[in-house]
Amino acid sequence: MKRLEDMITQEGLVLSDQVLKVDSFLNHQVDPTLMWEIAYEFMDRFKDAGITRILTIEAGGIAPAMMTALRLGVPMVYARKTKSLTLNEGTISAEVYSFTKQQTSTITVAEKYLQAGERVLIIDDFLANGEAAFGLAKLVEQAGAEVAGFGIVIEKSFQPGRQKLLDAGFRVESLARIKKLEAGQATFVDRVNV
């Protein structure tokens, strides 16, 4: 997606050869018109996939997930990463290991917001190692629902997440695919200039 790649190029900060900071439009300040265009792309790619719900994880996935839900006319739910005072009985949980933080955490969603028979589009802001993505897929499977695919805003293609998801049989649609982060610059896989 050209505008997204342009934003990454112009405003992204390459913190290391592993980490891209996008706090001006995605991970802290959030650009609503960009999110709305991102959602158009996801809608276009998944409009015939019979999606009945969007699932994401707090916090970075919520903005693109919300806009995509609005585009597709379906409900959106986000998995929580911390214990909630009000979310206790009737929940589904999965363990997620973070390579960045080197710790395992539990992600949770209420059963009533993820039900058997649903076709779920999982949206997230970043795909790196795929741990969060697989955790979300486990929630869907435990609910007796089906993963229709993954919609990823920024995929770090030099990390293994995408390939692991493909190997597991999932559909993955990423709007920006970063080939490498080097010398302060991001380069993209298959950059399309449209």
- Beta carbon of residue 50, minimum distance to Na ion (angstroms, whole number): 25
Contacts with ligand G4P by CB under 6 A lie at 19-22, 27, 58-60, 98-100, 125-132, 156, 161
Identify what 130 binds: Na ion, ligand G4P, none; CB under 5 to 8 Å per kind.
ligand G4P
- Beta carbon of residue 19, minimum distance to Na ion (angstroms, whole number): 11
Residues 6+ apart with CB under 8 A from 170: 137, 147, 149, 150
| Binding-site annotation, residues for xanthine | 20, 27, 156
Identify what 166 binds: ligand G4P, Na ion, none; CB under 5 to 8 Å per kind.
none
- Beta carbon of residue 107, minimum distance to ligand G4P (angstroms, whole number): 9
Binding mask 107-136 for Na ion (x = CB under 5 A): -----------------xx-----------
Is the Cβ–Cβ distance between 123 and 55 less than 8 Å? yes
Q: What is the β-pairing status of strands 146-156 and 172-182?
A: parallel
Binding mask 35-64 for Na ion (x = CB under 5 A): -------------------------x----
Q: Is 85 helix (H, G, I), strand (E, B) or coil?
A: coil
- Beta carbon of residue 65, minimum distance to ligand G4P (angstroms, whole number): 11
Question: Would you say 60 or 151 has its CB closer to ligand G4P?
Answer: 60
Neighbours of 194 (CB within 10 A): 4
The full DSSP string for 13-81 is EE-SSS-EE-TTTTSSS--HHHHHHHHHHHHHHHTTTT--EEEEETTTTHHHHHHHHHHHT--EEEEBS
Binding mask 60-99 for Na ion (x = CB under 5 A): x---------------------------------------
> From the CA atom positions of the chain, what is the Rg in Å?
16
- Beta carbon of residue 26, minimum distance to Na ion (angstroms, whole number): 8
End-to-end CA distance of the chain: 8
